[in-house]
Amino acid sequence: MYKGQLKNWNGKKGFGFIRSEELSQDTFIHISQLKSMSRQPKIGDVIYFDVEKQQNGKTRAINSSIEGVAVKSSYKPEVQIEKSSSVKTICFSILAVIAIGFFAFERLNLAPSNVQEPLSLSSSHAVLDNTKSAFKCDGRQHCSEMTSLSEAKFFINHCPDTKMDGDNDGMPCESDSRF
């Protein structure tokens, strides 16, 4: 390991030269070799360094330190770890709330209505017995296949794969002028 004095330093570009009595020429040093130091180098600082010969024949300082200047700790404060962890926790919480809200909304939207409109007398499926439903699922899916609005409401609330409520607001056949 060599000992030398920082002869000049360009802070904007992050390099300088070290003069050492042990070496015949000044040695180039880059800021990356002093990244563990707690402050930037200053002209006149005593620098300890090893020398690496480059392909162009010049030398550069490696494994460098500034005499009397503290080395930065490689320990990362827990605050950064907690911050990272808390950001993940917040994101996860937000996603969980959105998912729960979505499923609750869908469940409320899909729940059958307990209120039924009175039976239409024009319905061919009307049953006079009040203990049974006036309609039954028979595979019909479209408004054009319905004979009344109450029949369409029964189908969207009780039968699978109906295609009568395009905006999912619970009102079937809104654009059908017959109802």
Cβ atoms of 143 and 152 closer than 8 Å = yes
Beta-bridged to residue 2, according to DSSP, are 49
Cβ atoms of 170 and 110 closer than 8 Å = no
Predicted confidence pLDDT, tens digits, the chain (179 residues)? 899 999 999 999 999 999 999 988 899 999 998 888 888 899 999 999 999 988 888 889 999 999 988 888 765 555 555 556 678 888 889 999 999 988 888 777 665 555 555 544 444 444 433 446 788 898 898 888 888 888 888 988 889 888 888 888 888 888 887 77
Domain map of the chain by residue range? 2-66, 76-111, 116-179
Distance (Å, whole) CA 22 – CA 44: 17
Residue among 25, 118, 36, 119 nearest 75 (CA): 36
Domain 2-66 part of CATH 2.40.50.140: yes
What is the reported pTM?
A: 0.41
